[in-house]
Amino acid sequence: MAATPLISIIVPVYNVEHVLDRCIASLVAQTYPNLEIILVDDGSPDASAGKCDAWNEKDQRIRVIHQENRGLSEARNTGIDAATGEYLAFVDSDDYVEPEYIESLLSAAQRNNADMVICSYVDEDEHCHPKEETPFVEHEMNIDSHQCMEGIYRHMEFVLAWNKLYKAKIWETYRYPSGKLHEDEFAFHHIVTNCDSVVLVPDRLYHYVDNATSIMHTAYSIRNLDVIEARIERLRFFLLNGYANLVPTTFRFVMTGFYRATQLSWSQPDVRRRIEGILALFRALPPARILRILPMKDRISYLCMYWCPFAYQRLKKLILKR
């Protein structure tokens, strides 16, 4: 592998004309120069597309891909397919990074021959005012894929697509599911299982800007049910791939998703169809295997959800109202 390998940075772009320059400026200012910056304009109706083209004229390392609006997952997939670097990184277009972001992560990857490097991040409001947080690790750590899987429920840093540098090869067999919300929940375990070594670094090199107008701040809707599907898929993965210790916690996250879904009216035809589709995935989990692993209290919840989910959820809703 080259000492200064090409790094592909994938930036999905949609309706961010007011903050896009800040993001791209932070990328072209990287102390590590050998970059391929792929801007995927996902059919933006605002001036974002023009800004991408303007940056393309300023810096030859920038490539712009324009496509019809297909959502974040497909925009990332387009970037992955177009990338030619030995390493990949994702940066969301309303976020920005420190000048040494790529150089620091690549240095950690090369020192440890790591397949993935994860850094701490700064959580900021839309005015870029940081919240008081501590790094998720105190010092650089080298862990294996199983330890990384175990971190999923302790720190958000593990699950997110950004704040990471990946060897491109670990993405060869996986693409984000099309049209899904909570796409990182679907992806994490598939990517980590392709890693032999993962390095954690304490440096807060990525700035996550919590946009108040993002979909994550909108009212709970049928689209939010995607997270239950993602967690059921993860539960199946853990059941079938030797992660029995993570099954109980993952199951509880599935049930939490169902509890939150009581915000919707399950009697509405579109909601009911979606819930029934998710329940079909839930019932397709291997019952004997999951019951053997779950503690007694969780077994009862599992059986109630399996056999009489709508009555179970009505009861839960009544309990939550008290």
Do 187 and 298 fall within a single domain? no
Q: In which domain, by residue range, is 101 found?
A: 7-215
Do 28 and 98 fall within a single domain? yes
What pTM does this model have?
0.92
Q: Count the domains in the chain.
A: 2
The percentage of residues in the chain with a pLDDT greater than 90, rounded to a whole number, is 80
> What is the identity of the amino acid at 300?
I
Residue 295 lies in a domain: yes
Do 133 and 205 fall within a single domain? yes
Where does residue 9 fall: left (phi above 0), alpha (psi -120 to 50 degrees), or beta otherwise?
beta
Which CATH number belongs to the domain containing residue 65 in this structure?
Answer: 3.90.550.10
* pLDDT above 90 (res 115): yes
Do 274 and 132 fall within a single domain? no
Do 237 and 250 fall within a single domain? yes
Residue 220: partners with Cβ closer than 8 Å, 6 or more residues away: 260, 263, 264
Residue 2 lies in a domain: no
* pLDDT above 80 (res 214): no
Residue 58 lies in a domain: yes
Token output for 230: 């993602």
Do 193 and 228 fall within a single domain? no
Give the E-state strand segments of the chain in sequence order: 7-13, 35-42, 62-67, 87-90, 96-97, 116-125, 141-143, 164-167, 198-210
- The residue among 321 and 245 whose pLDDT is bigger is 245
Token output for 55: 């940056």
- Looking at 190, 215, 240, the residue that finishes a domain is 215
Do 96 and 236 fall within a single domain? no
pLDDT tens digits, one per residue of 160-192: 999 999 999 999 999 999 999 899 999 999 999
Do 193 and 294 fall within a single domain? no
pLDDT tens digits, one per residue of 145-158: 999 999 988 888 89
DSSP secondary-structure letter at 268?
Answer: S
Residue 80 lies in a domain: yes
